């Protein structure tokens, strides 16, 4: 039983160790390097096509082509969170204790050895000197507390006590970001909508799992347009959208790249565009018998050629492939044979490649409709992530500029020059010693001026 | 006056300034260091004017846009950021000798932009880049890169100096270098400073991506590599603050971090494909 407790304790100790944090950081960095080597979003078939078998097996076993969605990658992130939380739970009480610590009193000999130190003597008696120093410190740094003194004055002023807590604030913000990401992946969705100009749709094709989602409203694309610079490069992609509830037009607005539309918690982004084939007038010539047919074809609707059992079908339409202009992908199914296909050029009816087996295809007219491709997203976690982002930035910036600075002051009768008062200042900062050095020196100059000035006043009177 | 002329002057100005800094270090003389510093300030002013002029020229061409949108312009801006951040550090520390490597990188960035035959014409922005986030995102990222470049320079000098610590020749090459402890402190300051800017850069990129594409993080290679860089520098900060790493180990890790910066900037563009293809031509 005792041994088990020991083991658990050691396990907890490991989880809370800084070494583990560093290991997780560097492991995350290393596996991310691996992840970027293999294009993200490849399918298993792509992997086997692109890489030698042994490497393909390795990639597939560890899902390196889709690493960021694997459970082992998520486990690594979870481990980081656990480590973060346990570190906080272990260290926070210590930090609280440290900031509540009683103020230590040091001798002037000790203070004079601090990384920042200053010493001078003055004709002012101890109490007046202490008051002058307190005045300068109060104006330039912070209130000077008396922390001791029997026959001497011993004081302490400090700034930025709370900076020790900044690190917890930063860690909390990292957790908030991860929580936001989890909310987004649990309750949000992402997908695409292709809407033909003039038509409306309420169906989103989700990017995960080939599912469809019906929106409670419809989106109509009134127009899609592209404008160009004089040089010919695209200047703007624009879709004029209308939100419809039943027959009622709720909202009418254009969207452009970088300027999406949000309605009902769902955001629509201009993503792509393209053309659909709506109807095709096709002339088919049998090169063996010389017979010809003309047919009006619809997308993915098979037609049987009269007098034969051969079926032809339009499989796909592409705007531009390899600068050959628009093409139609045709397929033919003949009994007892595997389906065969060909690219048929729309603008060149006599092109010799416009054929499958003994049939030559010439396109007489292709009617197309333009569609706009919208990225559709709903992410209820994004505001949580943004809160985390802001907190992280504020935390890091404050941690950089704030430091816990303490200045000790001792004023006591001088041993070297009887009748004079020796003043000693010593300072410490937990961060940014350069800035503290400047601050400390300014304060010391102020103290020196103040003491000299009051000495002169005394000698005048 | 054309912006390209000012940029060419800056390229040679940075070379001159680097030579001054280098001779100051090698011959341990303070005067060339002063010349290096003065010339670097002058070049910074000229380069600022050059970048501003390029911005104005884009308006004259009929499509005003910030000069921050392709590899050429980003290299020029990188040189500008390195010079600015180094010179600010120099003002604060009053050690001029640390300028050798930053000025070398200023020159290399400008030379690469000017002499490698890359496209330096002012072209209009593609729709994806037409956003106010462009300026915020690029400026923050490059300030981060620049601070890490300065940290890289300090780290190299630190490692050289530390290797010769047992017998520091009183008039040797290292005579003008700051004490090791102080160099370590400067290095830490630069790393932390760069870390702030890189965080700003990554976050501004995420917010922009969310407003343009609807995803704040998509594991695009550039994003992933910037996160890798961020993790390496976060590891340095943690190792130093909690485990008390100092000196050599921090300097060595800073070299690793700088390697990540270079890969994030160049490697991703040339070797991996992704959303940030604007930067590769």
Terminal alpha carbon distance of chain A: 82
pLDDT of residue A43: 67
Q: Which of A32, A37, A237 sits opposite B127 (nearest CB)?
A: A237
Q: Which of B185, B219, B238 sits opposite A35 (nearest CB)?
A: B219
Whether A95 maps to a domain, the answer reads: yes
Residues B269 and B135 grouped into a single domain? yes
Question: Which residues form the domain of A225?
Answer: 186-273+373-392
CB contact under 8 A, B215 and A190: yes
CB contact under 8 A, B219 and A68: yes
pLDDT of residue B33: 94
Q: What ipTM, to 2 d.p.?
A: 0.89
CB contact under 8 A, B200 and A393: yes
Residues B280 and B186 grouped into a single domain? yes
pLDDT of residue A57: 82
CB contact under 8 A, A271 and B215: no
Residues A142 and A78 grouped into a single domain? no
CB contact under 8 A, B242 and A433: no
HSE-up of residue B278 (Cα within 13 Å, Cβ side): 17
Question: Which residues form the domain of B111?
Answer: 1-122
Residues A195 and A320 grouped into a single domain? no
At residue A234, φ and ψ (nearest 5 deg) are -65, 140
* Candidate from A214-218, B110-114, B124-128, B180-184 with smallest mean pLDDT: B124-128
**What digits encode the pLDDT tens for the residues B185-225?**
899 999 999 999 999 999 999 999 998 888 898 888 888 89
Residues A362 and A285 grouped into a single domain? yes
Whether A167 maps to a domain, the answer reads: no
Q: What domain count does chain A have?
A: 4
Whether A173 maps to a domain, the answer reads: no
| Residue A280 β-bridge partners | A297, A366
CB contact under 8 A, B130 and A258: yes
Residue A366, Ramachandran bin (φ over 0: left; ψ between -120 and 50: alpha; else beta): beta
Residues of A within 8 A of B239 (CB-CB) are 22
Question: Best mutation site among A20, A26, A29, A387 for testing chain B: the one with the most B CBs within 10 Å?
Answer: A29
Question: Best mutation site among A36, A92, A182, A373 for testing chain B: the one with the most B CBs within 10 Å?
Answer: A36
Low-confidence ranges of chain A (pLDDT < 70): 1-5, 39-44, 102, 209, 321-322, 458-461
H or E stretch including A364?
Answer: strand A359-378
Residue B45, pLDDT above cutoff 90: yes
Residues A285 and A408 grouped into a single domain? no
Residues B91 and B134 grouped into a single domain? no
Residues A139 and A252 grouped into a single domain? no
Residues B184 and B274 grouped into a single domain? yes
Residue B62, Ramachandran bin (φ over 0: left; ψ between -120 and 50: alpha; else beta): left
Residues of B within 8 A of A269 (CB-CB) are 212-214
Domain boundary among A78, A99, A120: A99
At residue A195, φ and ψ (nearest 5 deg) are -120, 125
Residues B82 and B192 grouped into a single domain? no
Q: Which of A21, A29, A257 sits opposite B128 (nearest CB)?
A: A257
Residues A22 and A137 grouped into a single domain? no
Whether A254 maps to a domain, the answer reads: yes
Residues A77 and A23 grouped into a single domain? yes
Q: Does A382 touch chain B (CB under 8 A)?
A: yes
CB contact under 8 A, A233 and B243: no
pLDDT of residue B179: 86
pLDDT of residue B72: 92
Whether A352 maps to a domain, the answer reads: yes
Q: Does A137 touch chain B (CB under 8 A)?
A: no
CB contact under 8 A, B203 and A28: no
Domain boundary among A360, A392, A424: A392
Whether A166 maps to a domain, the answer reads: no
Residues A255 and A280 grouped into a single domain? no
Task: Label residue B145 by pLDDT band (50, 70, 90).
Answer: very high
Residues B162 and B64 grouped into a single domain? no
Whether A93 maps to a domain, the answer reads: yes
Task: Label residue B171 by pLDDT band (50, 70, 90).
Answer: low
Domain boundary among B122, B151, B180: B122
Residues B181 and B142 grouped into a single domain? yes
Q: Which of A22, A33, A68 sits opposite B239 (nearest CB)?
A: A22
Residues A91 and A6 grouped into a single domain? yes
Residue B88, pLDDT above cutoff 50: yes
A372/chain B closest Cα distance in angstroms: 15
Residues A378 and A245 grouped into a single domain? yes
DSSP state of B263: I
pLDDT of residue A4: 55
Residues B40 and B144 grouped into a single domain? no
Domain boundary among B122, B150, B166: B122
Domain boundary among B122, B140, B159: B122
Task: Label residue B168 by pLDDT band (50, 70, 90).
Answer: low
Residues A64 and A194 grouped into a single domain? no
pLDDT of residue A40: 62
A461/chain B closest Cα distance in angstroms: 43
Rounded to 10°, the helix A71-100/A166-187 angle is 150
Q: What is the mean pLDDT of chain B?
A: 89
pLDDT of residue A42: 65
Q: What domain count does chain B have?
A: 2
Residues of A within 8 A of B272 (CB-CB) are 36-37
Rounded to 10°, the helix B71-93/B30-60 angle is 140
Residues A383 and A268 grouped into a single domain? yes
* CATH (domain of A215): 2.60.98
Give the residue-averaged pLDDT of B47-53: 95
Per-range mean pLDDT, top range of A31-35, B85-89, B158-162? B85-89
Which candidate, B116, B108, B77, places its Cα nearest to that of B11? B108
Domain boundary among A99, A117, A134: A99
B91/chain A closest Cα distance in angstroms: 12
A369/chain B closest Cα distance in angstroms: 23
Whether A180 maps to a domain, the answer reads: no
Query: Percentage of chain B surpassing pLDDT 90?
Result: 58
pLDDT of residue B36: 95
Give the residue-averaged pLDDT of B98-103: 96
Measured between alpha carbons, how far is residue A297 from residues A304, A361, A367, A396 in Å?
Answer: 11, 12, 11, 63
Task: Label residue B281 by pLDDT band (50, 70, 90).
Answer: very low
């Amino acid at each position: 039983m005792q041994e088990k407790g020991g083991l658990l304790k050691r396990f907890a100790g490991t989880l809370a160790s800084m070494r583990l944090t560093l290991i997780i950081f560097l492991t995350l960095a290393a596996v991310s390097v691996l992840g970027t080597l293999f294009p993200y979003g490849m399918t298993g078939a792509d992997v086997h096509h692109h890489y030698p078998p042994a490497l393909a097996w390795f990639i597939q076993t560890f899902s390196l082509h889709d690493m960021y969605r694997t459970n082992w990658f998520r486990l690594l992130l979870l481990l980081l969170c656990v480590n973060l939380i346990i570190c906080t739970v272990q260290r926070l009480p210590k930090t609280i204790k440290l900031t509540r610590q009683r103020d230590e009193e040091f001798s002037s000999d000790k203070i004079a050895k601090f990384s920042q130190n200053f010493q001078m003597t003055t004709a002012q008696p101890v109490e007046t000197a202490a008051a002058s120093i307190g005045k300068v410190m109060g104006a330039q740094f912070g209130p000077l507390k008396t922390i001791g003194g029997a026959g001497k004055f011993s004081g302490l002023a400090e700034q930025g006590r709370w900076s020790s807590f900044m690190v917890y604030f930063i860690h909390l913000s990292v957790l908030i970001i991860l929580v936001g990401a989890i909310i987004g992946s649990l309750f949000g969705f992402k997908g695409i909508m292709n809407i033909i100009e003039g038509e409306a749709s309420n169906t989103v094709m989700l990017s995960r799992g080939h599912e469809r989602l019906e929106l409670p409203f419809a989106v109509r694309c009134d127009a899609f347009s592209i404008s160009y610079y004089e040089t010919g490069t695209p200047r703007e992609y624009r879709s004029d959208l209308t939100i419809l509830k039943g027959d009622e037009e709720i909202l009418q607005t254009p969207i452009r790249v970088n300027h999406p539309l949000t309605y009902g918690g769902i955001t629509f982004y201009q993503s792509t565009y393209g053309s659909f084939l709506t109807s095709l007038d096709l002339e088919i010539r049998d090169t063996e018998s010389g017979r010809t047919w003309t047919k009006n074809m619809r997308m993915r609707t098979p037609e049987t050629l009269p007098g034969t059992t051969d079926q032809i079908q339009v499989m796909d339409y592409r705007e531009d492939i390899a600068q050959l202009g628009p093409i139609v992908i045709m397929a033919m199914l003949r009994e007892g044979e595997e389906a065969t296909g060909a690219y048929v050029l729309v603008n060149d009816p006599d092109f010799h490649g416009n054929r499958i087996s003994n049939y030559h295809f010439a396109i007489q007219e292709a009617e197309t409709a333009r569609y706009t491709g919208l990225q559709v997203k709903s992410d209820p976690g994004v505001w949580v992530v943004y809160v985390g982002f802001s907190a992280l930035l504020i935390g890091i910036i404050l941690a950089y500029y704030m430091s816990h600075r303490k200045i000790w002051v001792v004023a006591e009768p001088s041993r070297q020059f009887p009748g004079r008062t020796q003043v000693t200042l010593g300072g410490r900062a937990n961060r940014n010693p350069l800035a503290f050095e400047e601050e400390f020196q300014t304060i010391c100059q102020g103290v020196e001026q103040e003491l000299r000035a009051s000495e002169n006043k005394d000698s005048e009177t | 006056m054309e912006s390209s002329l000012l940029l060419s002057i800056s390229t040679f100005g940075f070379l001159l300034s680097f030579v001054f800094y280098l001779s100051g270090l090698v011959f341990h003389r303070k005067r060339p260091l002063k010349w290096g510093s003065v010339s670097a300030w002058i070049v910074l002013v000229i380069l600022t004017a050059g970048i501003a002029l390029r911005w104005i020229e884009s308006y004259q061409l009929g499509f005003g846009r910030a000069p921050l949108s392709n590899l050429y312009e980003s290299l020029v801006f990188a040189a500008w950021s390195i010079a600015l951040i180094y010179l600010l550090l120099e003002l604060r520390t009053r050690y001029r000798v640390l300028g050798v490597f930053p000025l070398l990188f200023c020159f290399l960035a400008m030379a690469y932009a000017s002499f490698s035959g890359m496209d330096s014409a002012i072209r209009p922005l593609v729709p994806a880049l037409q956003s106010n986030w462009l300026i915020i995102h690029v400026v923050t990222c490059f300030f981060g890169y620049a601070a890490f470049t300065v940290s890289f320079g300090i780290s190299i000098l630190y490692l050289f100096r530390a290797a010769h610590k047992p017998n520091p020749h009183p008039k040797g090459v290292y005579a003008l270098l700051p004490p090791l402890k102080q160099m370590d402190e400067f290095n830490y300051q630069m790393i932390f400073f760069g870390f702030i800017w890189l965080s700003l850069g990554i976050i501004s990129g995420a917010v922009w991506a969310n407003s343009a594409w609807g995803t704040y993080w998509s594991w695009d290679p550039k994003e992933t590599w910037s996160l890798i860089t961020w993790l390496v520098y976060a590891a340095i900060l943690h190792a130093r603050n909690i485990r008390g790493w100092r000196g050599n180990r921090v300097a060595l890790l800073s070299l690793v971090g700088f390697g990540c910066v270079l890969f994030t900037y160049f490697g991703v563009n040339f070797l991996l494909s992704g959303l940030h293809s604007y930067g590769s031509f």
